[in-house]
């Protein structure tokens, strides 16, 4: 059982992001396992990683679970069909969507460069804020009893 204590969280930013084109998420995890240089921040860390991701099939597949166990990452439980409680959905992607408004990319590489630049432009406080509001967000989700809210 995990206990989440927001004021004890030290978050430096995005631990890992990668782009896949015409590959599955499970394939991406396999690529990452073979290429440790794709996870430089993790290699530099000495503290524990607690992963909160949704429970999409590629994330809960046995090879992925096994890989995360080899990294000794703790995975927080995530209820099925609950994208509204993942920080990536309510904090990160919502903010990114504002930056993407009315923007057009002419190539995959242009989009990739923009996303890399957008992530690099965010300071630690942006990412910390997303984690610190998790308990409040979770309470709102539970209190809404399945009803829509913003």
Arithmetic mean of pLDDT, 19-39: 58
Give the count of beta carbons closer than 10 Å to the beta carbon of residue 141.
Answer: 16
pLDDT digits (tens, 9 = 90+) for 62-117: 877 888 888 788 887 777 666 666 656 677 778 888 888 888 989 888 988 898 89
pLDDT at 146 over 80: no
pLDDT of residue 91: 77
* Domain range annotation of the chain: 11-78, 80-149
Arithmetic mean of pLDDT, 40-55: 64
What is the rounded CA–CA span in Å between residue 15 and residue 39?
8
Architecture of the domain defined by 80-149: 2-Layer Sandwich (3.30)
**pTM score of the predicted model:** 0.56
């Amino acid at each position: 059982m995990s206990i989440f204590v927001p004021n004890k969280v030290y978050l430096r930013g995005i631990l890992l992001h990668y782009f896949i084109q015409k590959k599955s998420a499970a394939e991406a995890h396999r690529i990452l396992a073979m290429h440790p240089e794709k996870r430089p921040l993790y290699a530099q860390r000495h503290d524990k990683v607690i992963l909160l991701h949704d429970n999409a099939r590629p994330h809960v597949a046995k090879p992925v679970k096994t890989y995360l166990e080899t990294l000794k990452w703790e995975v927080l439980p995530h209820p099925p069909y609950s994208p509204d409680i993942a920080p990536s959905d309510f904090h990160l992607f919502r903010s990114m969507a504002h930056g993407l408004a009315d923007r057009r990319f002419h190539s995959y590489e242009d989009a990739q460069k923009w996303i890399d630049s957008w992530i690099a432009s965010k300071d630690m406080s942006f990412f910390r804020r997303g984690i610190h509001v998790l308990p409040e967000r979770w309470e709102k989700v539970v209190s809404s009893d399945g009803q829509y809210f913003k």
